[in-house]
Amino acid sequence: MNTRTLELLVGLFVAAGLVALFMLAMTASNLASYGGDDGYVIKAHFDNIGGLKVRSPVAASGVRIGRVTDISYDLEGFEAIVSMSIDPQYNSFPVDSSASILTSGLLGEQYIGLEPGAEEEFLVAGSVIDITQSALVLEQIIGQFLYSKADEE
């Protein structure tokens, strides 16, 4: 086999490997969602975040508009502080918008649902959402249900 064919085939092999890597990165992994990191960051305090994780989605009316970037615990208010990055094109949420932790499906992953308010001012970088609703913890609900049943009798 002459040098040209040999080098051509090796070149094709290396290119195929790189294309495969690129394809896996683009279509099968979350590379595409890395781009939106130039959004603005807002915060919300929750009593209980349930199973929320960093990188969980933030959605309004079911449409993904951002992502949770950080979760920490505030020792002064004894609350969880969730920071979320909202994509820059969604920049007109009223300041009295509320955030609740919801579950997609019965046992699916948890996400933050943003419900717009009615104020004229908009949320900007660094804003804190005051009206929040914690995650529903199944054990607590079952516990409450059992207590209320017991009270009835």
Partner 1 sequence: MVDILLDRIQGLGRGTLAAVSRLGRANVFLLEVFAGLSGMLTRPGLLIKQLFSVGVQTLIIIVVAGLFVGMVMALQAYYALVDFGAEDSLSVMVVLSLLRELGPVITALLFAGRAGSALTAEIGLMKATEQLSGMEMMAVNPIERVIAPRFLAGMISMPLLAAIFSAVGVMGGYLVAVELLGLDAGAFWSQAQAKVELFEDLGNGMIKSLVFGFVVSWIAVFEGYDCIPTSEGLGQATTRTVVYGSLAILVLDFVLTALMFGK
Residues 23-62 that bind partner 1 (CB under 8 A): 23-25, 27-34
* Binding of partner 1 by 145 (CB under 8 A): no
* Binding of partner 1 by 4 (CB under 8 A): no
- Binding segment (CB under 8 A) for partner 1, from list 14-22, 77-85, 87-95, 128-136: 14-22
Smallest gap, in angstroms, from Cβ of residue 105 to partner 1? 10
Smallest gap, in angstroms, from Cβ of residue 106 to partner 1? 11
Question: Count of residues binding partner 1 (CB under 8 A)?
Answer: 25
DSSP track, the chain? --HHHHHHHHHHHHHHHHHHHHHIIIIISGGGGGTTTTSEEEEEEES--TT--TT-EEEETTEEEEEEEEEEEETTTTEEEEEEEEPTT----BTT-EEEEEESTTTS-EEEEEE----SSB--TT-EE-EEEPPPPHHHHHHHHHHHHHHH-
* Binding of partner 1 by 106 (CB under 8 A): no
Residues making contact with partner 1 (CB under 8 A): 3, 6-7, 9-10, 12-14, 16-21, 23-25, 27-34
